[in-house]
Amino acid sequence: MDFTLLHTDPNSNARAGFITTDHGTIETPIFMPVGTVASVKAVHFHELKEDIKAQIILGNTYHLYLRPGLEVLEQAGGLHKFNGWDRPILTDSGGYQVFSLSANRKLKEEGAYFRSHIDGSKHLFTPENVVDIQRVIGADIMMAFDECPPGNAPYDYAKKSLALTHQWLKRGVKHFDETDGKYGYSQTFFPIVQGCVYTDLRKQSAEFVASLGREGNAIGGLAVGEPTHTMYEMIEVVNEILPQDKPRYLMGVGTPQNILEAIERGVDMFDCVMPTRNGRNGMLFTSEGIMNMRNEKWKNDFSPLDINGTSYVDQAYTKAYLRHLFISKELLAMQIASIHNLAFYLWLVGEARKQIMQGTFAAWKKEMVVRLGRRL
RNA sequence: GGGCAGUUACCAAAGUGGCCAACUGGGGCUGACUGUAACUCAGCUGUCUUUCGACUUCGGAGGUUCGAAUCCUUCACUGCCCA
């Protein structure tokens, strides 16, 4: 993997560049659709490529390990072969599941013992075997196994958790460097900054992560319940320390506004379930604001979904029709909303990139953030 | 013509003297969702009120009772059965 920085905005820390992998190039800043179980929910790869223009998607170690399981993935020849997506894939390590499925797990120094949410069976994830699993999956970018504490974690807990995450990082890096990919193309390993909402812990973590000298670095443990302005502060603190010449990945974030704010602060990569999950639940993100498609006000609105929208669904379907589909619980509603939202997210980061290249990012972002927050 | 059963909020359907503005579904309205256990979850759904609370309701009318959706009388309507 390689990162090339093309341009930095004169009025902010925003940057434009590209990442090259053995499965193709990724233009940054980028948004990566989430495909947890080897599928971006409700969306075909054809749409993902042609209409949404996704350049890289996510998979999830925890979910793929449980189902279909390593045997199937290895026999298939890796995840790219298994699901047919021939562009880059990034896999999350399962650290987030240690957070979101916290009732079913126990953390120890050696790793995380957990029970499967599918059948209750017992398993252990360690920094080492999570690397091994991601070798089998064959992700172009694999993530370190970390602990992602909640946004309201007290200082003492955050400190202890960070020590554990750093120890796991060390072991993960070592194991990654001692092993090879299985399918003939190169893989890379991103460590993750933690430290909750505490500036000193975030600084300490960013310094530790930077010292590992990896090809890219991630910021985790944000948008997990803390105030938004705190999240922005933490991004600033961390990005001051993380190397300029390596991509920075803000994990799990976020709303369109969050993404622009983070780009302004020097983040290059994003992923979030919001465009797909909220889309399935009836919410549309547009350049003019957000719409709840179940609202009665769209009942007789026969205008196109989004006149500024770049995907075919924006012109092909009306608001009244999409509302009808949601009210009727038709599956097509979720497909249309997912395609629209993902296309919008990809348009947003693509436009941000264009503005950075032109040197007009700051002014454009300032205006966009106001519009994006409106409720239509 | 006779017998039996029934009539509760938008729909369906509990409740058979005070804990009932009334269980529960559905429908409707609104909100939430940030490295996906999520086609999920939450609130509201008689009127007025921000809340507390007040007021009017359980086919119609009248009655019994301190108190009625619940008991009695009567009228209307619906369904089933027998002629």
Overall average pLDDT of the A108-132 stretch: 94
What integer is the mean pLDDT of A45-71? 97
pLDDT tens digits, one per residue of A266-325: 999 999 999 999 999 999 999 999 999 999 999 999 999 999 999 999 999 999 999 999
pLDDT of residue A285: 98
Mean pLDDT along residues A161-180: 97
| Interatomic separation, CA of residue A324 and C1' of nucleotide B79, rounded (Å) | 37
Query: What is the ipTM for the molecules in this complex?
Result: 0.93
A22 C-beta neighbours (distance < 10 Å), count: 13
pLDDT tens profile A227-237: 999 999 999 99
Percent of chain A residues past pLDDT 70, beyond the cut:
100
Predicted pLDDT at A100:
86
Q: Tell me if residue A237 falls in helix, strand or coil.
A: helix
* pLDDT at residue A361, rounded to an integer: 97
Which candidate, A272, A277, A247, A246, places its Cα nearest to that of A259?
A272
Tokens of A167: 């120890």
Specify the pLDDT at position A210: 98
Average pLDDT over residues A7-20: 96
By C1' distance from the Cα of A104, the closest nucleotide is B37
In sequence order, what DSSP letters do the residues of A152-220 get, joined into one string? Answer: T--HHHHHHHHHHHHHHHHHHHHHHHH---SSSS--EEE-EE--TT-HHHHHHHHHHHHHT--S-EEE-
Choosing from A51, A271, A306, A314, the catalytic residue is: A271
Does residue A101 register a pLDDT over 90?
no
Nucleotides of B under 7 A from a protein CB: 27-41
Helices A256-264, A331-358: crossing angle, 10 deg rounding: 20
Give me the sign of the Cα torsion angle A238, A240, A246, A247. positive
- pLDDT value at position A139? 98
- Nearest nt to the A98 alpha carbon by C1': B35
What pLDDT does residue A374 have?
A: 94
Strand partners, A218: A192, A249
Least Cα distance to A186 among A289, A324, A88 occurs for: A88
Q: Does A144 have pLDDT greater than 90?
A: yes
Looking at residue A323, its pLDDT comes to 96
CA distance A330 to A216: 41
A271 is catalytic: yes
Q: Which of A92, A140, A146, A268 is catalytic?
A: A92
Residue A104 has pLDDT above 90, yes or no: no
Question: Is a pLDDT exceeding 80 seen at residue A372?
Answer: yes
Residue A102 has pLDDT above 80, yes or no: no
pTM: 0.94
Residue A334: band (very low, low, confident or very high) from pLDDT cuts 50, 70, 90: very high
Catalytic residue flag (residue A92) = yes
pLDDT greater than 80 at residue A239: yes
The predicted model gives A117-133 an average pLDDT of 94
Length A296 CA → B49 C1' (Å) = 26
- CA(A15)–C1'(B14) in Å? 64
* Length A257 CA → B34 C1' (Å): 11
Q: Is the backbone peptide bond immediately before A373 cis, with ω within 30 degrees of 0?
A: no
pLDDT over 90 percentage in chain A: 96
DSSP readout, A296-320?
A: GGGTT--SBS-TT--SHHHHHSBHH
pLDDT tops 80 at residue A103 = no
Scanning every strand, the nucleotide with its C1' closest to A221's CA turns out to be: B35
Which nucleotide is at minimal CA–C1' distance from A117?
B37
pLDDT digits (tens, 9 = 90+) for A350-362: 999 999 999 999 9
User: For A188 and B81, how far is CA from C1' in angstroms?
Assistant: 82
